[in-house]
Amino acid sequence: MRAATALFSNGGAGMSDRPVVGRFAPSPSGRMHLGNIYTAVMSWLSAKSRGGRWILRVEDLDPQRSKPEHARVIEDDLLWLGLEWDEGGLSGRGPAGPYVQSLRHEIYAGGLRRLEAAGLTYRCRCRRADILATQAPHESDGRVIYKGTCRPPRLGGTAEIPGDAPAAIRLFVPDKTMTFTDRLRGPQSVNLAAHCGDFILRRADGAWAYQLAVVMDDALMGVTEVVRGEDLLLSAAQQIYLYELLGYPVPEFAHLPLVCNDQGVRLSKRDSSLGMEALRATHTPAELLGRVAALAGLIPAPAPVTLRELLALAQPD
């Protein structure tokens, strides 16, 4: 796996002048696995090696998959490893709470109102299946690129779709290329129209979309660096676009290589042998930290290591 030690380098992307605030934002849809732990440890180390704060945010927007008991177990697993958060978690300690997304409805509604008032949104009743049916085969990598079926003819137009059935709310997305420098992946350039098209801010069932929630949360919680898995690299472009529209400072991004199982497939919550239940049964915290440190390239091979020792290895050069 590609080393992630560049995370601790001071070169490359411009470091912001704001006090460093990092975060870990798990979705409580099951027990964490080695990949989630890798993200947690690396985001903690990145923030702490710069004297920063580390926030734990519970991303439970998906009402079908999220369960409070999973969030409690995530907290327990983090504390078992010695990863303590300065702010957030279920108890909501800190000035920017609540830190549980399902409790932040009013905040997201406020952001949506601003985008609506700027004439940047519209209502859409297309179903996912219909949208998928209009996709060209080469686009079928899981991403849904909306072709603008419900898009009114002009920005801020009043074209209201008839009927009372619940509608999703989408954001107008221009044919604009977003550029940013990822601390690990280097310069990135993503055309929004080609990558995602007009994307959803609020689903027809009322659930808030990840992209709006994550931007508002990171901005209002003062997050200066977003360290997370590479599967979200392209989402950063959508998020930077939202930061700009909402007038928030853009954090730095660092997208970590994904941890794979023995078959070379990205870990999922179904890979129970690398899930926290199995890992806690077979490792001490120091052994598991050593495994993570070896994945990151901080030590040459897995060997027990403490968080304090890792912090010494992760000092910015």
> Closer CB to ligand GLU, residue 44 or residue 122?
44
Could you tell me the smallest distance in angstroms from the CB atom of residue 164 to ligand GLU? 33
Could you tell me the smallest distance in angstroms from the CB atom of residue 235 to ligand GLU? 7
100 with 92: CB under 8 angstroms?
A: yes
> Closer CB to ligand GLU, residue 49 or residue 101?
101
Q: Does 275 bind ligand GLU (CB under 6 A)?
A: no
What are the beta bridge partners of residue 58? 100
Q: Does 49 bind ligand GLU (CB under 6 A)?
A: no
Could you tell me the smallest distance in angstroms from the CB atom of residue 308 to ligand GLU? 25
Q: Does 232 bind ligand GLU (CB under 6 A)?
A: yes
Closest by Cα among 37, 61, 71 to 271:
37
Distance CA 220, CA 96 (A): 7
CA atoms within 13 A on the CB side of 78: 28
Closest by Cα among 12, 6, 54 to 223:
54
Distance CA 17, CA 32 (A): 33
Could you tell me the smallest distance in angstroms from the CB atom of residue 227 to ligand GLU? 8
298 with 313: CB under 8 angstroms?
A: yes
> Closer CB to ligand GLU, residue 126 or residue 213?
213
Q: Binding marks (x or -) toward ligand GLU, 174..213, rule CB under 6 A?
A: ----------------------------------------
| Binding residues for ligand GLU, total number by CB under 6 A | 7
Q: Which residue has the tokens 């994307």?
A: 199
Q: Does 255 bind ligand GLU (CB under 6 A)?
A: no
217 with 27: CB under 8 angstroms?
A: no
Could you tell me the smallest distance in angstroms from the CB atom of residue 306 to ligand GLU? 26
> Closer CB to ligand GLU, residue 65 or residue 128?
65
Q: Does 59 bind ligand GLU (CB under 6 A)?
A: yes
| 147 labelled catalytic | no
Could you tell me the smallest distance in angstroms from the CB atom of residue 26 to ligand GLU? 5
Q: Is 188 helix (H, G, I), strand (E, B) or coil?
A: strand
Which one of residues 173, 213, 214, 293 is an interface residue with ligand GLU (CB under 6 A)?
214
Rounded to 10 degrees, what is the CA torsion of 12, 18, 24, 27? -110
Sequence length of the chain is 317
> Closer CB to ligand GLU, residue 62 or residue 116?
62
According to DSSP, residue 259 is labeled P
Q: How many CB atoms lie within 10 A of CB 60?
A: 20
> Closer CB to ligand GLU, residue 232 or residue 286?
232
How would you list the strands of the sheet with 225-229, edge to edge?
Answer: 186-191, 177-182, 252-256, 225-229
Which one of residues 53, 202, 228, 291 is an interface residue with ligand GLU (CB under 6 A)?
228
> Closer CB to ligand GLU, residue 26 or residue 222?
26
243 with 219: CB under 8 angstroms?
A: yes
Q: Binding marks (x or -) toward ligand GLU, 20..39, rule CB under 6 A?
A: -----xxx------------
Q: Provide the residue type at 176 as one letter.
A: K
Q: How many CB atoms lie within 10 A of CB 103?
A: 13
Could you tell me the smallest distance in angstroms from the CB atom of residue 32 to ligand GLU? 9
Give the residue numbers marked as catalytic: 269
Contact residues: ligand GLU, CB under 6 A = 25-27, 59, 214, 228, 232
